[in-house]
Structure 1
Amino acid sequence: MRHLVLVGLGQAHRGVLAGLHELGDAFRVTVVAPHDGRFGGATAALLAGTLPAERLRWSLPSGVPVIRSRAVGCQPIHRRLWLADGRVLEYDRLSLNLGTRRMPDWVARPGARQPRTWSGHSVRQLVELRVVLDAEKQAAVVIVGGSLTALEVAGGLAARIGRDGLDVRLLWPDGATGPRTRTALRRLAWLGVDVIDAQAETLATGCLCCRDGRRFAADHVIWAGAAEPGSSALGMSLPAASAGLRVDRRLVSPRASSVHVLGATASLDGYAVLAGWDGERQARVVLSGLRAETGTHALKRYAPPLREMPIDLGPAAGLVSSTPWLGWWDQRRYRRIQTQGLDGSNPSVAPT
């Protein structure tokens, strides 16, 4: 019986585990994951306070052992995986889904009297943030955007604007927009979120500084930028590209046919990293590769999605109507907020 090791429990690996019955008895599976079993997928509802944190737990299939540790390196030639606790695992097939970098160094290490920082890519930190906001009320929150997660975080916090007096700003870099993203930004503006075209650069006393010199007062800064591979991916002794570990259309490393790489850890043909929200399609490709070893099915190949995923803005987004009149008003208000952010006349900007 072959040994399959899954490193990480993102959406793609949850899809692989859900399809284990397709493999029969050909593989025995071991999971390596450091977290406590809570997963994303309902970020907006969690932050809005309408979903208990316990509902985010996902149960593994029975009989699948879990090692609570992190992978720190692998040796593809001898098919060995090193863990942070010193153990070494031997495998026949390895799949890496190491997740997204939580936040850059300048956000992860705030100084004294600087805003408290959180990662929008960490479910554990979002649960802690929800508890803090329930206690504080009337806090100023700045979200550093550029990803689907940033929109979901903003949608969840938008439900607290009228209820808790929260002041929410979303810094969205120019160019990171598609049709559904633009619609989501307009809806967030209608709900009271200040959507501002800016790129964050550093933290200062009580505020967040942008590259163009503007400063925004903040009690909390949530980093939810574009997906990038975590630092642990660099220790895997696998071919890397500028964006992550290089894979082909089978989601296999080009120099290690026994290693699959998924999610934000993988760079398809050396270009942008794979979308984490497309994990189910990636899981089907991996399962087809595993079944092909038994000679029962042909290989499937992965193609990036052509459309954006529907964006979940949480319960507050239901207040926005699709009628033409409200659509016109929505666009008008969004343009006004964009203008305020661009010319620096926003009254919420912290003094220099």
Structure 2
Amino acid sequence: MTKLVLLGGGHAQLFVLEAFARQRPDADIRLITPDALTPYSGMLPGVLAGHYRTRQACIDLRPLAERAGCQLMLGRAIGIDSTHRRITLAGGEVIDYDLLSIDTGSTPQRPDIPGAAEYAQPVKPIADLLARCALATPRAVSVLGGGAAGVEVVMALHHRWPAAHCTLIERGATPLGGLGERLQRSIGAELARQHIDVVTGAAVTRIDANAIRLDTGRTVGSDFTVLATGAAAPDWLRDSGLALDARGFIEVGATLQSTSHPEVFAAGDVATLSASPRSKSGVYAVRAGPPLAANIARVLAGQPPLDWRAQRHALMLLACGRRHAIAARGGWVLKGDWVWRWKDAIDRGFVRRFDPQADSETAAG
């Protein structure tokens, strides 16, 4: 019987489990993931802001795996030997596979800045950030990185701690660089409305317990600093033998199979489509789910996998801390409280699809 290992419980992998729950393949299936509760990225800014409890933004993999006839194993990968088809876990276990699907997500990009390790908290893992938030009553908050994650996090923390002075620091010329002028203007107006300072065109040279030093000579007060500086590939991929892109992510073709090892599938942030790279976004991970599930099932059935073409433009829904959101796709931008309610319905619907028992009551605040 084919040994199929699902490594990671990311968004795309959920569709694989859902498909197997409908029709179980003739395979020995194992899901390996660090935690039975997998967070849904779309709701995490709402958790930081206080609109949701943590459990509402997580999907319990245990009942989903049971319905799929899949053995759930809690563990974290630290190495893959693609030649011998083996996975090594942090606990020392070595797992063999015939077919492997990887959806572990990315890791935070940790800038080489003095003081960052001691005084700055990465956005991921979200559990660590939430734990630190629970113990903090900061007077000055700074978020480093002006991408989508950075702008959502700084507004969420502003909503959480309205008395704190909040600053967004972006090395480039503007937050959300490259995502369109209309969206940049809308986000800029919202940040200004919330009196969140935006510092652009400056690199951080040092992070201290109560301040951030910039290469412009400016010092920004901050006793709670968050890193939202982008996605990096997991270190353990380097010696895997799998074909990787220039940034260290798994290179896959249109079938979502490794370009070097067809018995390995990969999707979500850990993978890069070789012919048409897309941004590291939960939207594309979700879109990759159905073709990933279909192609794994086809390979298990002895059929050739089918090509998938990722959409070029995806809907972006940005939470603005308060119950207000901005939607953008292509050249159009919409904003309002009603956009937040729309986003809220989409997010809750996604979680309930895979975890019908998820608590759907809104948290106070």
TM class, shorter-length: 0.7 to 0.9
Write the distance in 2 (CA, Å) between the matches of 1:317 and 1:158.
13
Q: Which has the higher strand share?
A: 2
Write the distance in 1 (CA, Å) between the matches of 2:274 and 2:289.
18
Check the 8 A contact 1:3/1:93 in 2, yes or no: yes
Shift of 1:22: 5.1
Describe how 1:1-352 pairs up with structure 2 within 5 A. Answer: 1-21=1-21, 23-35=23-35, 37-39=37-39, 40-60=41-61, 61=64, 62=66, 63-104=69-110, 106=112, 110=116, 116-133=119-136, 136=137, 138-160=138-160, 162=162, 165-172=163-170, 173-174=172-173, 176-179=177-180, 180-205=183-208, 206-243=210-247, 244-269=249-274, 274-277=279-282, 278-293=284-299, 294=301, 299-317=306-324
Write the distance in 2 (CA, Å) between the matches of 1:44 and 1:261.
26
**Aligned CA distance change for structure 1 residues 270 and 318 (closer, same or farther; 3 Å):** closer
Q: Deviations over 1:58-78 (max 9, x none)?
A: 112124322222222222233
**Aligned CA distance change for structure 1 residues 108 and 53 (closer, same or farther; 3 Å):** farther
* SS of residue paired to 1:306: coil
Check the 8 A contact 2:254/2:308 in 1, yes or no: yes
Write the distance in 1 (CA, Å) between the matches of 2:188 and 2:19.
36
Shift of 1:124: 0.7
Check the 8 A contact 1:247/1:267 in 2, yes or no: yes
Moved runs in structure 1, 4+ residues, more than 6 A? Answer: none
Q: Deviations over 1:182-212 (max 9, x none)?
A: 4234322212221221344332433222343
Shift of 1:219: 0.4
Shift of 1:105: 5.3
**Aligned CA distance change for structure 1 residues 322 and 64 (closer, same or farther; 3 Å):** closer
Check the 8 A contact 2:115/2:206 in 1, yes or no: no
Look up the match of 1:349: none
* SS of residue paired to 1:3: strand
Shift of 1:143: 0.5
Structure 1: tracts of 5 or more residues without a match = 324-352
Write the distance in 1 (CA, Å) between the matches of 2:272 and 2:335.
37
**Aligned CA distance change for structure 1 residues 246 and 213 (closer, same or farther; 3 Å):** farther
**Aligned CA distance change for structure 1 residues 29 and 318 (closer, same or farther; 3 Å):** same
**Aligned CA distance change for structure 1 residues 68 and 108 (closer, same or farther; 3 Å):** farther
Write the distance in 1 (CA, Å) between the matches of 2:271 and 2:220.
34
Q: Deviations over 1:285-306 (max 9, x none)?
A: 2112112222578614132532
Check the 8 A contact 2:250/2:266 in 1, yes or no: yes
Check the 8 A contact 1:106/1:202 in 2, yes or no: no
Check the 8 A contact 2:83/2:241 in 1, yes or no: no
Structure 2: tracts of 5 or more residues without a match = 327-333, 337-365
Look up the match of 2:361: none
Write the distance in 2 (CA, Å) between the matches of 1:109 and 1:270.
39
Write the distance in 2 (CA, Å) between the matches of 1:181 and 1:14.
32
Amino acid at match of 1:256: H
**Aligned CA distance change for structure 1 residues 158 and 317 (closer, same or farther; 3 Å):** farther
Shift of 1:13: 1.8
Write the distance in 1 (CA, Å) between the matches of 2:81 and 2:45.
40
Amino acid at match of 2:6: L
Aligned CA RMSD, in angstroms, stands at: 2.9
Q: Deviations over 1:124-148 (max 9, x none)?
A: 1231133123xx2x52111012432
Write the distance in 2 (CA, Å) between the matches of 1:17 and 1:183.
38
| TM norm structure 1 | 0.78
Q: In the comparison of the two structures, how many residue pairs are matched?
A: 314
Over the matched positions of the two proteins, sequence identity in percent amounts to: 21
| TM norm structure 2 | 0.76
Amino acid at match of 1:231: D
Q: Deviations over 1:151-170 (max 9, x none)?
A: 221231231353xx011111
Check the 8 A contact 2:100/2:264 in 1, yes or no: yes
Write the distance in 1 (CA, Å) between the matches of 2:72 and 2:89.
13
Check the 8 A contact 1:12/1:279 in 2, yes or no: yes
Check the 8 A contact 1:101/1:230 in 2, yes or no: yes
Check the 8 A contact 2:146/2:168 in 1, yes or no: no
